[in-house]
Structure 1
Amino acid sequence: MQAIEQKILSRIYGRGRGWAFTKTDFIAGFGETNIHQALSTLARSGRIRRVCHGVYDYPRYSDLLGQNLSPDIDQVAEALARKFNWRIQPSGEAALNMLGLSTQVPGRWVYLSDGPSREYPVGEDSPQVLAFRKAPLKDVGFKFRESGLLVQALKALGKERVDATVVDTLRRWLPTRLHHAVLNDTRTVSGWILQIIKQVCEEVGE
């Protein structure tokens, strides 16, 4: 049993601090009962942390604060999406936060999903709420994650609040290599949003 724990721990460490996971992430290599026991043992020893029902993480650590940081909500959402085979997309304030358009950390992180609507409290000290909201496939069906983040952030901002500073922030965030792919991926979104995405993907000096 100890050998299985070490193999699982090696995989976790290999993904780096902040990674969140469920037993589903190890099911291909180990028996379900063994995985459950190994994760429970590792959590009790403090090498991993249970962050919500069925989800663990390898905590990020702050040398400055001398303690573990709060769970990475996006990692937790992705872990649940893998477990249930959902397609998900950060919505509203979550998308704005990830793209650097908002410095407010939402207490409630909403993700669109092609699965059922569910909510999970994440973390022990002042837990945040991770909410999945069932949405039409067109809202979660982008090929590239970056496409969905752009669309949801712009929707949350609204046309009137998009200015040159916002466009510049998004341009710095989106890698140049993805410009063509994102433009192609978002060609069916509503008019003004597509126009902003076109501006974001324009090369400076073109």
Structure 2
Amino acid sequence: MQQSITSQIKNEISNTSNNNLFTVKDFLKYGSYDTVKRILIRLNKEEYITRVIDGIYTKTRVSKLTNEIVPTNPHTLALKIADNFSWKIIPTGNHALNLLGLSEQVPTSYEYLSTGPYRTYEYGNTIIKFKNTRSVEINELNDKSSLLISAIRTLGKDNINDEVIHKIKNQLSVNECDLILKESVKITNWIYEVLKEICINA
């Protein structure tokens, strides 16, 4: 029975994309929590999978150039942490700008507003921080609306120019713009005015 569960888990892992992350919860259809946990710990020792942080794993990938294990993208890891605990999160600060192509600076700290508790995770030289909030932006808006508002707030009113408007506009469909404007009527007025400018003739 144990071998059968191991085979099923390994088969599912082998069929996932290289950047997929997984936890014990992703394999509970094959066995009990304790059984699956033991199997993942063993597969990690065998280097079939790689432990990213406590409880989260990925398929082991080795770079052909450096012959070292390829690191996981910190934003991908943050999304998996949030998914594992059923949190909703919003990227903030320079990380939000980076995701929208408004900054080329690679952050060393990835910060998020979250519906969960305050938590900090260390991943290599990177810090991932979750800060609890009950704001309208996280509880009532979709992910795209929340990210846009976070990025606009980070830039500040005086730094919104035609280039910024153009870059954001090119990433949105008409339907996305309609939803963003519909959802965002309760937010800070100057940010809503920026959103309207972005969504004109999108």
Q: Which TM-score band (shorter chain)? A: 0.7 to 0.9
**Structure 2 counterpart SS, 1:131:** strand
Q: Which aligned pairs between 1:33-48 and structure 2 lie closer than 5 A?
A: 33-48=34-49
Aligned residues: CA RMSD: 2.3
Q: How far off its partner does 1:122 sit?
A: 1.4
1:50 aligns with 2:51: yes
- Specify every segment of 5 or more residues in structure 2 that has no aligned partner in the other structure, as ranges: none
**Residue 88 of structure 1, CA deviation:** 1.4
> Identity over aligned residues, as a percent?
29
1:120 counterpart letter in structure 2: Y
Structure 1 partner of 2:22:
21
Tell me if structure 2 keeps the 8 A contact 1:116–1:132: yes
**Matched residues, number:** 201
Match for residue 133 of structure 2 among 125, 132, 135:
135
Tell me the TM-score normalised to structure 1 length: 0.85
Is residue 155 from structure 1 mapped to residue 156 from structure 2 by the alignment? no
Q: What is the distance in 2 between the residues matched to 1:163 and 1:103?
A: 17
Aligned residue number for residue 111 of structure 1: 112
Greater shift after overlay, 110-119 or 137-146? 137-146
- 8 Å contact from structure 1 (residues 23, 35) kept in 2: yes
Write the distance in 2 (CA, Å) between the matches of 1:66 and 1:183: 48
- Relative to structure 1, the CA distance from residue 84 to residue 169 in structure 2 (aligned partners, 3 Å threshold; closer, same or farther) is same
Q: Deviations over 1:7-44 (max 9, x none)?
A: 22333344412222221233344310121122112222
Alpha-carbon displacement from aligned partner over 1:152-180 (angstroms, at most 9, x marks no partner):
11111111111111111112223444222
Please state whether the residue corresponding to 2:116 is helix, strand or coil: coil
Does residue 1:180 correspond to 2:181, yes or no?
Answer: no
Residues in 2 aligned to 1:103 and 1:135: alpha-carbon distance in whole angstroms? 27
Relative contact order higher in (CA < 8 Å, ≥ 6 apart):
1
* Cα distance in 2 for residues equivalent to 1:60 and 1:74: 18
Relative distance call for 1:156 and 1:24 in structure 2 (3 A) is: same
Instruction: State the alpha-carbon separation in 2 of the partners of residues 64 and 175 from structure 1.
Output: 39
Q: Give the Cα–Cα distance (whole angstroms) in 1 for the partners of residues 182 and 62 of structure 2.
A: 39
Return 178-187 or 97-106, whichever deviates more.
178-187
Distance 1:90 1:61, change over 3 A: farther
Partner of 2:163: 165
Distance 1:32 1:99, change over 3 A: same
For residues 64 and 28 of structure 1, do their structure 2 counterparts lie closer, same or farther at Cα, with a shift above 3 Å needed? same
CA contact (8 A) 1:21 1:76 kept: no
Against the structure 1 CA distance between its residues 159 and 121, is the aligned structure 2 distance closer, same or farther, given a 3 Å change threshold? same
**Contact 1:112–1:139 (CA<8 Å) still a contact in 2?**
no
**CA–CA distance in structure 1, aligned partners of residues 144 and 3 of structure 2:** 40
Unaligned runs of 5+ in 1: none
